[in-house]
Amino acid sequence: MASSVLTIIAILACAFSFVDANPNRKICVVKGGQSKDIDDAPAILHAFKECGQHGKVLFNPQTYYVNSVMNVSWLKDVDIDIHGTLEWSTNITYWLNNSMQVGYQNQSTAFIIGGDNVRINAFGTGTFNGNGDDWYKWIRQQENTSNYPGRPHALTLSRLTNSAIHGLRFLRSQMWTMSIIHSHNLVLDSIFINNTANTDGADTIYSSHVVFNNWTVYNGDDSISLKANSTDITIRNCKFRNGLGIAIGSIGQYNDQFETIERVSVNNIDYENTLHAFYVKTWTDDQNGYPPNGGGGGLGYLSGVEVTNLNATGLRGAAFAVSQCTRFSGAPGVGNCTNSQFQIKNVAIKNLSGTTKSTRVASLQCSAVAPCSNITIADVDLRLANSTLASDYLCGNLINPMGFTCTGDVCVGGSATGEC
Ligand SMILES: *[C@@H]1O[C@H](CO)[C@@H](O)[C@H](O)[C@H]1NC(C)=O
Ligand SMILES: *[C@@H]1O[C@H](CO)[C@@H](O)[C@H](O)[C@H]1NC(C)=O
Ligand SMILES: *[C@@H]1O[C@H](CO)[C@@H](O)[C@H](O)[C@H]1NC(C)=O
Ligand SMILES: *[C@@H]1O[C@H](CO)[C@@H](O)[C@H](O)[C@H]1NC(C)=O
Ligand SMILES: *[C@@H]1O[C@H](CO)[C@@H](O)[C@H](O)[C@H]1NC(C)=O
Ligand SMILES: *[C@@H]1O[C@H](CO)[C@@H](O)[C@H](O)[C@H]1NC(C)=O
Ligand SMILES: *[C@@H]1O[C@H](CO)[C@@H](O)[C@H](O)[C@H]1NC(C)=O
Ligand SMILES: *[C@@H]1O[C@H](CO)[C@@H](O)[C@H](O)[C@H]1NC(C)=O
Ligand SMILES: *[C@@H]1O[C@H](CO)[C@@H](O)[C@H](O)[C@H]1NC(C)=O
Ligand SMILES: *[C@@H]1O[C@H](CO)[C@@H](O)[C@H](O)[C@H]1NC(C)=O
Ligand SMILES: *[C@@H]1O[C@H](CO)[C@@H](O)[C@H](O)[C@H]1NC(C)=O
Ligand SMILES: *[C@@H]1O[C@H](CO)[C@@H](O)[C@H](O)[C@H]1NC(C)=O
């Protein structure tokens, strides 16, 4: 009976339900202390140790308080069912000193999940609450607000393979919501994020074959960002609100390192009040300082991008933007914006409609050393408030535009958000 019900649910829910090949797997129900003063991290880690391989870990519909870091990197063939909320503490002194290295850009994290064949189901109700309001207030008081060392991501998928996350909600992430590094073959489906501040939705690094399906992201920074060595990435059926849109990069931050972003498919995206629909940011060829906020001089290319069926309401900037002049925040406002050796090529953006506040459809500030090539922009119907068509295509160092004609010269100047 139970197994036939499971089978029916599996058929109805199609690719995103999990059919249990082992109905006798050991189940660990996580016991929480039901108080902010009791750190539930040890109980959660205990459940993962007992049932994290060939078992099932179950979070009840209650709040679990997480007051310390969790590194759960050894999972194998496990179901993780989350019916409740995990709420992270706001002891900033603790987190700055204890959050764990992600392995890129000196970023750090509060929670690492890694392993193989991990199936997380949160049923559209399970929630990770990063309690970020305190972080947002605190960061505004700091001298350097960008990539503050030790400020943790809510969740890092690290060396995670052949795995899926379904129906998980994220509220008020401390910093980036989800970093995905050294991970392959992931389906991340029906994820809801509501950060009220400038924090990324998700960032991929050294990862491949990742599907983002049915994400809704309310945030202020990159909705989803694909960074160094992200390949075979699919983003589809998503809603992005208030953030910067889909970002490629920043990339080219590590001097002499060869990094690529290849085979990216974006389809059926609805935007509201985002800065861009799709944008690319690369560092210049001049190295100034070191990551997280300094760098430059990287090599490589972006290639094989298909972006189709976009619907936008109230875009705030160019729908498609490229800046190859990302540079050290502390560097003086002069420098060479066109010497990046990182090349942008084989990008097609088709079928984009809706409304915009910017007259710019495209702002393409490419490198003179490695000009943008094979860029297609076609079937665009973006209207301004007075219903005239947005019609500016601003270009610099672009070979052979396809589907459009450049209407003017692009602004050339330092930028971390695609336009200057
Ligand atoms: C915050 O964490 C620090 C360092 O771990 C600790 O010494 C301090 O007691 C904690 N503060 C509170 C209010 O829990
Ligand atoms: C930082 O953490 C380390 C190791 O966890 C600990 O030894 C040290 O006392 C902590 N420092 C502060 C200021 O909390
Ligand atoms: C997480 O745990 C794994 C396995 O114990 C270890 O190899 C890794 O270094 C840990 N990561 C961090 C950032 O502490
Ligand atoms: C990297 O982070 C550590 C703490 O997590 C910090 O001490 C160090 O200054 C950071 N490095 C840079 C270059 O910002
Ligand atoms: C998409 O995700 C939302 C949560 O953001 C959920 O309510 C909705 O049911 C999902 N849609 C589908 C078709 O799975
Ligand atoms: C996001 O969070 C803010 C702040 O709590 C709230 O006002 C807003 O309604 C939330 N948005 C959604 C779509 O849940
Ligand atoms: C990134 O990809 C390039 C090209 O495939 C490869 O040469 C390089 O080693 C990769 N870098 C890392 C850190 O994996
Ligand atoms: C685009 O979004 C607007 C506003 O949400 C909506 O009215 C319209 O139907 C959408 N169009 C498409 C093609 O999805
Ligand atoms: C802030 O950044 C500037 C420029 O990188 C650096 O000189 C300064 O030391 C930083 N301040 C702090 C408190 O980290
Ligand atoms: C920027 O660097 C490129 C490549 O070295 C060079 O061709 C170009 O003249 C430089 N531009 C400026 C303004 O210095
Ligand atoms: C141009 O780019 C598109 C989109 O990535 C790709 O399908 C096509 O093969 C490219 N053409 C050439 C000649 O490389
Ligand atoms: C519509 O608005 C744009 C941007 O403000 C302006 O440049 C253009 O002249 C306006 N067109 C008409 C017909 O009013």
- pLDDT tens-digit readout, 8-28: 333 333 334 455 667 789 999
3-state secondary structure string across the chain: CHHHHHHHHHHHHHHHCCCCCCCCCEEEECCCCCCCCCCCHHHHHHHHHHHCECEEEEECCCEEEECCCEEEEEEEEEEEEECCEEEECCCHHHHHHHCEECCCCCCEECEEEEEEEEEEECCCCCEEECCCHHHHHHHHCCCCCCCCCCCEECEEEEEEEEEEEECCEEECCCCCCEEEECCEEEEEECCEEECCCCCCCEEEECEEEEEEECCEEECCCCCEEECCCEEEEEEEEEEEECCCCEEEEEECCCCCCEEEEEEEEEEEEEEECCCCCEEEEEECCCCECCCCCCECCCEEEEEEEEEEEEEEEEECCCCEEEEEEECCCCCCCCCCCCCCEEEEEEEEEEEEEEEECCCEEEEEECCCCCCEEEEEEEEEEEECCCCCECCEEEEECEECCECCCCCEECCCCCCCCCCC
| Residue at 178 is within a domain | yes
| Residue at 420 is within a domain | no
Residues recognised as catalytic:
221
244-268 pLDDT, tens digit per residue, is 999 999 999 999 999 999 999 999 9
Q: Is the pLDDT of residue 7 over 50?
A: no
Structural domain count, the chain: 1
| Residue at 414 is within a domain | no
| Residue at 418 is within a domain | no
d(CA 79, ligand 7 centre) in Å: 32
Domain limits for position 179: 2-409
The predicted model gives 58-82 an average pLDDT of 98
| Residue at 225 is within a domain | yes
Find the CATH number of the domain harbouring 203.
Answer: 2.160.20.10
d(CA 264, ligand 11 centre) in Å: 12
| Residue at 179 is within a domain | yes
Would you state the pLDDT for residue 230?
99
d(CA 313, ligand 12 centre) in Å: 18
Nearest CA to ligand 9 atom 13: 143
| Residue at 417 is within a domain | no
Would you state the pLDDT for residue 19?
58
Residue of 313, 380, 382, 383 best suited for mutating to test ligand 8, as the one with most atoms within 8 Å of CB? 313
| Residue at 334 is within a domain | yes
160-200 pLDDT, tens digit per residue, is 999 999 999 999 999 999 999 999 999 999 999 999 888 99
* Predicted structure pTM score: 0.94
